Structure 1
């Protein structure tokens, strides 16, 4: 029993322990079949430890089991299937993960993690091990090398693009609709702005593509109070010159915005951020002076 997980980097193939963990494997297979995992990000990366995904919100605090869709909200979570012979002894072990911030038992839903090294004995007996990676260890290594913030959230969005069931003998096919809605990409600027999937640094400078100052307020206000956001435009045509000035209330917010947003991808454009001093407000007076001469 195998599932191919197509990520934004490369593919991963998972072999499932269906005999030992039938409830867990059925849940995973059917979530794959209804495209539940499509566009989920690897929201937590603990270097040389584990990577975690399976939450459609990307926060690590959500996710539903297939049994909720079949039997209602009371079946959102299902019980552990822990076996002494299934251990975290090898890199590529696949196991169920509880929601972030809780270590309670029997709260399995959709989230799962993959180990990034051998002999993680501390996890044995704590989580349901239901599979192992058989192909794609180079992909795991690339994910392990991703840059992350202090909470383990990667600056580079690494996504599950597709899941393909290579063999599924279970008998739930008549209960799960074949035509499931495609999951839309989460709007990247609503909470944390992150680099996109195939991130590669570029040397050229690119301005902000947004054509409204309001969009700049939305993007940058999470770092602190924005006192002004001004896109520099041609004084005759009104067209943007593809750069803008964002002014913060305090220096700390400005520095945080710089370190987080520089070379970030927004709306399919790479932006460059630097410290500067705007003289745009002087242009109207200068133009008036020139026109009167």
Structure 2
């Protein structure tokens, strides 16, 4: 079970250890699915990145005026009700960690732990480690990791300035084994245009302009803010049931190869491999769109774990409204 976190600085694939840490995995998946993390600011702090506070860098967000909550605090919420943050207990395996320090591998993701009356609780604040390190055992509740084949993007994050503006663009849930709780809903998150921190050189340029050009400059700033966030699809778009997600691809595998291999299961509408916008290099995952749900199910049941170009691939049903992040270039039947 995996989650694809699309950010303005690169895409992060996260594998969830949901068999061992069910409460943490459930909480993270439902927070992702309800759009809690959407457009949130990602804060880089040395060798880690943090997100999960919907208020940081998001004054325009009026639907979730809390600094932290679990999914339980977001159930049965309406315009007439006041959102009350609620925390949940960690799994016993996380709570039983010994005192002192524990080793966290590069790519580990965990919730920040809050202690109340001797009980370890979690909400929504997440830490993702960019390097292997020791960490106080009682401060984090581990629940997943970034696979080694995707560590390149962690290295890219490590090189970024801590003050760089980074936002969550979208989250793709590859598979959610947990039923939605009663009262679950998806939030319509506004674009944080007024809250995006623009580059310092643009601000200086803006301040140097005369009053006559002030309005034009404001428009340019808003356009740049939209460009930072990216092109966002409508919230009314529904997931495509005819799309199959495929990952762990060999970097040499192209869309034409996949189209030929998967065509035996039905007519293919399109094949898209996600590529880095700067280098054009394959990021190791993509999407195959068939003409029918039956073809998708047939491909899913036959292609899991199949070796293509010396790599054992993983396939699953796509549960996202977005097949691709708009900033990536795609190989379509090429």
Provide the TM-score with structure 2 as the length reference: 0.51
Contact 2:76 2:184 in 1 (8 A): no
Offset of 1:116 from its aligned partner?
A: 1.4
Could you list the per-position Cα deviations for residues 191-240 of structure 1 after superposition, in whole angstroms to 9, with x for gaps in the alignment?
xx4539xxxx89xx9842xxxxxxx7xxxxxxxxxxxx98354xxxxx66
Offset of 1:111 from its aligned partner?
A: 1.1
Contact 1:92 1:132 in 2 (8 A): yes
Q: What does 1:66-215 correspond to in 2, within 5 Å?
A: 66-70=71-75, 76-81=86-91, 82=94, 84=97, 88-97=103-112, 106-118=120-132, 120-134=133-147, 136-148=150-162, 154=163, 156-172=164-180, 175-177=183-185, 179-185=186-192, 187-188=194-195, 193-195=197-199, 207-208=205-206
Aligned counterpart, 1:19: 19
Within 2, Cα distance between the matches of 1:30 and 1:230? 46
Question: Which of structures 1 and 2 has the bigger CA Rg?
Answer: 1
Within 2, Cα distance between the matches of 1:95 and 1:25? 10
Which has more strand, going by share of residues?
2
Within 1, Cα distance between the matches of 2:111 and 2:189? 24
Q: What does 1:50-65 correspond to in 2, within 5 Å?
A: 50-58=48-56, 62-65=67-70
Offset of 1:90 from its aligned partner?
A: 1.2
Offset of 1:267 from its aligned partner?
A: 2.8
Within 1, Cα distance between the matches of 2:174 and 2:10? 17
Within 2, Cα distance between the matches of 1:23 and 1:142? 30
Contact 1:77 1:106 in 2 (8 A): no
Could you list the per-position Cα deviations for residues 146-170 of structure 1 after superposition, in whole angstroms to 9, with x for gaps in the alignment?
223xxxxx2x211111111111111
Structure 1: runs of 5 or more not aligned: 149-153, 209-215, 217-228, 234-238, 244-264, 271-293
Provide the TM-score with structure 1 as the length reference: 0.57
Contact 1:91 1:117 in 2 (8 A): yes
Within 2, Cα distance between the matches of 1:241 and 1:124? 52
Within 2, Cα distance between the matches of 1:8 and 1:187? 17
